[in-house]
Structure 1
Amino acid sequence: MPRIAYVNGQYVAHTDAMVHIEDRGYQFADGVYEVCEVRHGLIVDLTRHLDRLNRSLGELRIAWPMSRAALTQVIRQTLRRNHVRNGLFYLQVTRGVARRDHVFPKEGTPSSIVVTAKSTDPTIVAKKNASGIKAITVRDNRWDRVDIKTVGLLPNALARQQAKEAGAQEAIYIDHNGMVKEGAATNVWIVDADGILVTRPAEHGILRGITRTTLIDVAGKLDLPVAERYFSVEEMMSAREVFITAATSICFPVVSIDGQTIANGHPGSVSQKIREAFFDVAEKTVI
């Protein structure tokens, strides 16, 4: 069954989908995006993803390409046309097509939108959860507004490639003070010496992950204490558990960082409890 994409008002074959060469997303990374999980035919945390999209668009002064209700229907229709029951959708909104110039195009230039969807294999995630993943640390070299979910991901891509070449699956950014920030595509958590779940505060230095936000709700349901505070590389290395969170992986345990074993080198019990309870707490929207 061929994949279908939604591009600026039309559903087209994925292989034929295209945007104009002067789309500002292509030339300036002048756009934002969201990725959202689909599980058993249900969209996970759609409201929070659209809320964050609204914030990202507002921060960059990009107009919504359509109403929120209309976009919700486009997302559902794209998922249906691609027969996705377990997988994800990706949506991207840019400032639109205009003659190349650094300043914004004239008022009224329509935003551009692309929505795609694909199925994924849940067993791949299950295997990573069972064995844990490896990570490396890298110095943060991104722009200062990583709280906006923009398509400007070149530093993230280079960090992920560095991780791959080191035999790892994620790169964890470290700030100039030696404090942990976030992963190249994830938020980072530890279980500290007192058994408290710790993650960096979601100020402008990291992205406020949707899974991160829902996980705090999950922890509340499980009576697990949570602290949003800074923590160092040294504290991370000596933590009881380290794990990363993202929309398409929920909660991956990290068992090795920079070649050093974390705790006993096996996935911990806290991340397992969170993962098992996550979908009981997360919002679920029927496709």
Structure 2
Amino acid sequence: MSLYPIILSQSTFKHKDSLKYPFEERGLQFGDGIYEVIRIYHGNYYLFQEHVDRLYRSAEAIKLNIPFEKEELSRLLLELIKRNKMTSDGKLYLQVTRGSAPRDHVFPKGVTANLYAYIEDLPRNLEALENGVKTISIRDSRWENCYIKSLNLLPNVLAKQEASEQGCYEAVLHKDGVVTECSSSNIYLVKDGKIYTHPATKNILHGCVRMAVEKFAKDLNIPFIEESFTLDDIPSADEMFLSSSTSEITPVIQVDDIVIADGKPGEITEKLQEAYVKDAKIEETKTKQMM
């Protein structure tokens, strides 16, 4: 993936090669910060306001003062797209930390938060979307406030690495057999025409695409039930799928050695994918570009 050259640092646009933070940076030393990943289709953010709103909720949860109001930050992020002349599919990574200060566990006084954002190309993973992915299950060892999109991601990284080493796309996390989510996505089980997923508690990230999935299900008259399912429920599942900003709505065809139904993406998953494509205006944008 190619990194676009212009970086948003605080309220200034800089070339990526000129951006250097002091080594005493709380995000680096404590994981004391938050982040967002926003999907881009043909140069347009998808679920933009939802991501910005969640960023500010995460900031409030860890008592971090973002140095801009929502409207100003939104304007800067839109300007970042324009300055990079970005018109392809990609993603924005946005991070805010408590700032740079001498190392001390206690919050520093009089320090301004460090904020930066950058854009990368990210083509849609059509292979995974069309054919589904394999996953493993692994114990959820994360902290109790996963609803905060914080920088404390080491358990997620280790779980994702384990999945990768086993030739799988994702790691399905569970607490004593109760499935919570995946290392970097929300997870769903379909049974008898109903969608089941873990309730939006502090134990999972309240995904922006997850909220979209709930809306799509409602529009399609598919019951969306916020009720935990277990590893023992997986062998009898009719379908499974996961969702995130970078994975969209991806069918899950296997968990560990368990093949889901016939090992192919299910009907409900495909209907949700169609709704996603329509909502994100993916096909519409492609058509306009071809004309």
Q: Please tell me the TM-score bracket, short chain as reference.
A: over 0.9
The CA distance in 1 between the partners of 2:25 and 2:41, in whole Å, is 32
1:169 equivalenced with 2:172 (yes/no): no
1:140 equivalenced with 2:140 (yes/no): yes
Aligned position for 1:33: 35
The CA distance in 1 between the partners of 2:235 and 2:8, in whole Å, is 44
CA contact (8 A) 2:11 2:76 kept: no
Aligned position for 1:128: 128
The CA distance in 2 between the partners of 1:188 and 1:180, in whole Å, is 8
SS in 2 for 1:149: coil
Name the amino acid aligned to 1:238: S
How far is the alpha carbon of 1:42 from its aligned partner? 2.1
The CA distance in 2 between the partners of 1:281 and 1:222, in whole Å, is 13
Q: Map of 1:131-280 to 2, 5 A cutoff?
A: 131-176=131-176, 178-192=177-191, 194-280=192-278
Between 89-98 and 275-284, the greater mean CA deviation after superposition: 275-284
Counting matched residue pairs gives 280
Q: Map of 1:5-16 to 2, 5 A cutoff?
A: 5-16=7-18
Identity %: 35
Between 25-34 and 7-16, the greater mean CA deviation after superposition: 7-16
CA contact (8 A) 1:45 1:283 kept: no
The CA distance in 2 between the partners of 1:25 and 1:272, in whole Å, is 39
The CA distance in 1 between the partners of 2:21 and 2:71, in whole Å, is 24
The CA distance in 2 between the partners of 1:229 and 1:282, in whole Å, is 27
TM-aligned CA distance change 1:19 to 1:237, over 3 Å? farther
How far is the alpha carbon of 1:282 from its aligned partner? 5.8
CA contact (8 A) 1:32 1:93 kept: yes
CA contact (8 A) 2:253 2:263 kept: yes
Q: Map of 1:68-83 to 2, 5 A cutoff?
A: 68-83=70-85
Q: Which of residues 44, 50, 61 is equivalent to 1:48?
A: 50
Aligned position for 1:59: 61
Cα deviations by residue, 1:81-111 (Å, 9 ceiling, x for unpaired) = 33333111110011111110000001x3111
| TM-score, L = length of structure 1 | 0.93
The CA distance in 1 between the partners of 2:121 and 2:246, in whole Å, is 11
The CA distance in 1 between the partners of 2:56 and 2:6, in whole Å, is 25
How far is the alpha carbon of 1:119 from its aligned partner? 1.5
| TM-score, L = length of structure 2 | 0.92
The CA distance in 2 between the partners of 1:283 and 1:209, in whole Å, is 20
Aligned position for 2:99: 96
SS in 1 for 2:73: helix
Name the amino acid aligned to 2:233: E
SS in 2 for 1:27: helix
Aligned position for 1:114: 116
The CA distance in 1 between the partners of 2:267 and 2:84, in whole Å, is 36
The CA distance in 1 between the partners of 2:223 and 2:190, in whole Å, is 10
Name the amino acid aligned to 2:188: W
Name the amino acid aligned to 2:80: T
Q: Which has the higher contact order (CA 8 A, sep 6+)?
A: 1
How far is the alpha carbon of 1:43 from its aligned partner? 1.1
Cα deviations by residue, 1:3-44 (Å, 9 ceiling, x for unpaired) = 221122322222333322111001000000000111133211
CA contact (8 A) 1:79 1:89 kept: no
Between 23-32 and 270-279, the greater mean CA deviation after superposition: 270-279
Aligned position for 1:17: 19
CA contact (8 A) 1:200 1:230 kept: yes
CA contact (8 A) 1:189 1:243 kept: yes
Between 273-282 and 262-271, the greater mean CA deviation after superposition: 273-282
Aligned position for 2:108: 105
The CA distance in 1 between the partners of 2:190 and 2:67, in whole Å, is 41
